[in-house]
Structure 1
């Protein structure tokens, strides 16, 4: 009991901090201070966010074990995307007009998740796989993933990201890097429909494509050839435990993201005081927002559950693309706000390179696969700093 209370201490501190930021002028006072106090406050808030993210990852891990794969990881990615959409929508409706807001948000999430976090995940999983081995690694000794499920994820991520972030630059039915209204509505329909069909297959008939290939099928399930599978949640932990973990995870996510959003002006002030480019602020906020999913993926990889890590990372990227694009296009149309989807040429090249590297060639991965992705991520961050 005492350990459980101590584990939720970051959430309680985060809740009190959020109340303080919203009801006092502490943040306004801090913004007027020199660089050192600003950076100190930013460091303390970042540490709190990371501690809360660790708690969120813990509850997400419990849900994944209680609900089974892939349903367990869908809970975490679903919670994050709902909050992310709420933040983007509130900014578009109440903040200054920023036509590239959605584009920059989606691209940042893709690069953070698919290069930095996935690169570290592959390295961790590969090292766990070779622990205790004294002989040279054979192909069958490498960390394995379910290639069919990973390919399904990457195919859909590639399709939507190219249609939404690259192709608008070459469209001739609009003067800006965007589509005309009929094409935008078509893109909205396609994104939502494909995502819905994908989720239905992932938790239903094609569930086996998204679990570890070495994991035995749950008792009472049928193979794909034999017909639909039974609900995996029926054989797991009590509903009270699932509800408890789900409520604490959702509360932690909400407080975490709201604190990260409140830190936006603090990050901007600190960056300006240090003479760094403003684009770096969006990167830092993005890192804090995806921290729960990143920690959950790394935690699963440390247990040797690479497929669950990839389900979390790919699911986050896919939901960001398929749900953010329709939401932003609809808000932009109804409020008269300009929306620019097409990436700059440099970002387009980096996105295409990332999509090539994340595509699974075989069902086995090594540390080299992770290092290549990390290299792309480091170069992207460096370009954000010097641009």
Structure 2
């Protein structure tokens, strides 16, 4: 237990040092090299914590099964992300593109960078040769296609409605809808996500489990389910410990990442880079636990679990962030801009096209996603 608590304790020490000592103020006035060294050290702490969170998410997944395991991780991350966005809107400087930039960063990091890595890892692990020297397609990595297609339908629809269509709205002069249309969009986004979760946890649960488990379990599904339930009962205490460690680790990760924002902005300014890159780096740090969990799953050959983690995060981000920021914007009188810039719309369109699920993974689709991610980062820097 001490070993499991150690990463959280390290993170708490780092967080206390940032918030309640003069370390941050001292770092902010130091030369660029020292600022970057501080960033590297704190990023290392975040990665250690993220690794711990990913391990706890694996434990929860083993105990409660899929897709519930990844839903726990997604729910915890989304709660903290929404809290950070809300606190920034309520206490920070007015930034009408905050929600848009946050959502788009999550979409691009999850669907291009991390998914690209997962696709390549899964394909390399499972792309074995048959006895005739040819690739055995039946052994290639593959998602549960119907579940993956459902994710894609939701992501493509909500991304276009929330991030593209506002640019063509005739009801306002900015890239946003009128209040009545925003109300409809909010209700639709929240309602669609609620229906999706109900289906995912209910009658369509099998669409979000690994293909191999469904094939293996055809003959003895009832017995396997009874065994799983018995294991869950025997490990109830372990489940709660893993869930508490998961949430605690996530909370510390996100608080450190948010506290690092000022340090990141200072480093970027000293290097002469665009300020928009700061939001991207913070989003990467916040998504690190989910990214590591998805990469671990792909490395173990669990393609659908990596999809559940990454695509589920994107669906939750777009479906829940939009209603939250529109309501907060209306309450506080803060302007909210949803529409993306032209080059971002093109990148989003290309990302959605390449995100269409493949029946089998070769690794090429993952490489192309990584190419898009590379150019997105370059355009943030340029």
1:199-348 alignment runs, 5 A limit: 199-216=197-214, 217=217, 219-220=221-222, 236=232, 238-348=235-345
Task: Write the distance in 1 (CA, Å) between the matches of 2:295 and 2:305.
Answer: 10
Task: Write the distance in 1 (CA, Å) between the matches of 2:268 and 2:213.
Answer: 47
Specify the alignment match of 1:25 in structure 2. Answer: 22
SS at match of 1:364: coil
SS at match of 2:241: helix
Deviation per residue, 1:144-192 (Å, 9 max, x gap)? 1111000001101111110000000001011100000000010000011
What displacement does 1:233 show?
Answer: 5.7
- Selected match of 2:193 from 192, 195, 200: 195
Task: Write the distance in 2 (CA, Å) between the matches of 1:131 and 1:10.
Answer: 37
Aligned: 1:101 with 2:103: no
Task: Write the distance in 1 (CA, Å) between the matches of 2:367 and 2:112.
Answer: 9
Aligned: 1:354 with 2:378: no
Instruction: State the TM-score, normalized to the length of structure 2.
Output: 0.95
Task: Write the distance in 1 (CA, Å) between the matches of 2:10 and 2:301.
Answer: 32
Residues 79 and 253, structure 1, Cα contact 8 Å, conserved in 2: yes
Residues 69 and 308, structure 1, Cα contact 8 Å, conserved in 2: yes
Specify the alignment match of 1:179 in structure 2. Answer: 177
Residues 128 and 136, structure 2, Cα contact 8 Å, conserved in 1: no
Gaps of 5+ in 2: none
What displacement does 1:133 show?
Answer: 6.1
- Selected match of 2:49 from 44, 52, 60: 52
When residues 25 and 182 of structure 1 are mapped into structure 2, their CA distance, relative to the original with a 3 A threshold, is same
Task: Write the distance in 2 (CA, Å) between the matches of 1:267 and 1:140.
Answer: 46
- Selected match of 1:369 from 360, 365, 368: 365
Task: Write the distance in 1 (CA, Å) between the matches of 2:360 and 2:123.
Answer: 10
Specify the alignment match of 2:84 in structure 1. Answer: 87
RMSD: 1.8
Aligned: 1:129 with 2:131: no
Residues 70 and 211, structure 1, Cα contact 8 Å, conserved in 2: yes
Deviation per residue, 1:215-270 (Å, 9 max, x gap)? 13474399xxxxxx99x766535211110000001000000100000000000001
Instruction: State the TM-score, normalized to the length of structure 1.
Output: 0.94
Task: Write the distance in 1 (CA, Å) between the matches of 2:25 and 2:310.
Answer: 36
Task: Write the distance in 1 (CA, Å) between the matches of 2:329 and 2:223.
Answer: 45
Residues 274 and 380, structure 2, Cα contact 8 Å, conserved in 1: yes
Residues 127 and 362, structure 2, Cα contact 8 Å, conserved in 1: no
Aligned: 1:110 with 2:107: yes
Task: Write the distance in 1 (CA, Å) between the matches of 2:345 and 2:230.
Answer: 44
When residues 12 and 320 of structure 1 are mapped into structure 2, their CA distance, relative to the original with a 3 A threshold, is same
Residues 268 and 281, structure 1, Cα contact 8 Å, conserved in 2: yes
